[in-house]
Amino acid sequence: MQSNTQEVSAAKSEKCIIVLGPPRSGKGTQRKRLSEILNIPHVSTGELLRHQVRLQTDLGREVDDLMKRGELVPDELVMEVLQRRLAQSDSSNGFVLDGFPRNRAQSRALDDCLIQMGHDRQSKLIFLLMVSESAIIHRLSGRRTCAACGKTFNVVELASSKASTCDIDGSTLVSRNDDLEHTVRNRLLLFEQTISGILAHYSEQGKVFEIDADGSVDEITRSILSKVSF
């Protein structure tokens, strides 16, 4: 994936890159690519919370059932893991957020957190991935997660001989509990109920870009980078 220097340096001046989108909109993939291209860490609140569940910490046990049902975790618990992550030194030059904020209160909490960290309130770019329901269902039907390392695959896009094992450690690929269809429908509903409040919050102070996310991964990345090249 190529990008020009001007695009990268313009984007680097934005400390906080926020990628919003419904379940299976491809936000996780784009987050990783933006993080690589801009050389800043990607921070997924879903991954931070799943890590707590795997470690069986008190917080992990508290959120486990909520996550299995596809329900949102209380704001204060999400802020606890997020603040801890953003306090690490590798976040000081910026970071790509994924899965956060999920509601207006979280948008406000993030503003406070950024100010505490010494970032400019304006130093955010917000991308909203727009994806059709048919594309979501296609992606959902093929999604698998490695039981050992947590890497996700889409078996529709893999060669059949490799469709059941992880290409990193050879472990079995499984469907995540929250990939179950009724859970995803719950999450879609939640997303639709909360996105307008978040966008209202950022329209006053941030830069919100709607990105057509039905295309290829490369096209979506190019489209995002084109919005930061000014």
Contacting positions for ligand AMP (CB under 6 A): 44-46, 49, 66-67, 70-73, 78, 99-100, 102, 106, 178, 187
> Least Å distance between CB 187 and ligand AMP?
6
The answer to whether the CB of 226 falls within 8 A of the CB of 145 is no
> Least Å distance between CB 211 and ligand AMP?
17
Q: Characterize 202-228 residue by residue with b for buried, 16 or more Cβ atoms within 10 angstroms of its Cβ, and e for exposed.
A: beeebebeebebeeeeeebbebbbebb
| Closer residue to ligand AMP, CB minimum distance, 102 or 119 | 102
| Closer residue to ligand AMP, CB minimum distance, 66 or 199 | 66
Tokens at 199, concatenated: 């966008």
Tokens at 223, concatenated: 């489209």
* 101 cis-preceded (ω within 30 degrees of 0): yes
d(C-alpha 205, C-alpha 120), whole Å: 11
| Closer residue to ligand AMP, CB minimum distance, 27 or 119 | 27
Tokens at 209, concatenated: 């870009």
Residue nearest to ligand AMP (CB): 46
| Closer residue to ligand AMP, CB minimum distance, 50 or 119 | 50
> Least Å distance between CB 95 and ligand AMP?
14
> Least Å distance between CB 118 and ligand AMP?
23
| Closer residue to ligand AMP, CB minimum distance, 111 or 178 | 178
| Closer residue to ligand AMP, CB minimum distance, 12 or 104 | 104
d(C-alpha 196, C-alpha 146), whole Å: 34
Pairing of strands 143-146, 95-98: unpaired
> Least Å distance between CB 45 and ligand AMP?
3
Mapping DSSP onto H, E and C, the string for 17-44 reads: EEEECCCCCCHHHHHHHHHHHHCCCEEE
> Least Å distance between CB 116 and ligand AMP?
18
Pairing of strands 208-212, 124-130: parallel
| Closer residue to ligand AMP, CB minimum distance, 177 or 229 | 177
> Least Å distance between CB 6 and ligand AMP?
31
Amino acid, res. 96: V
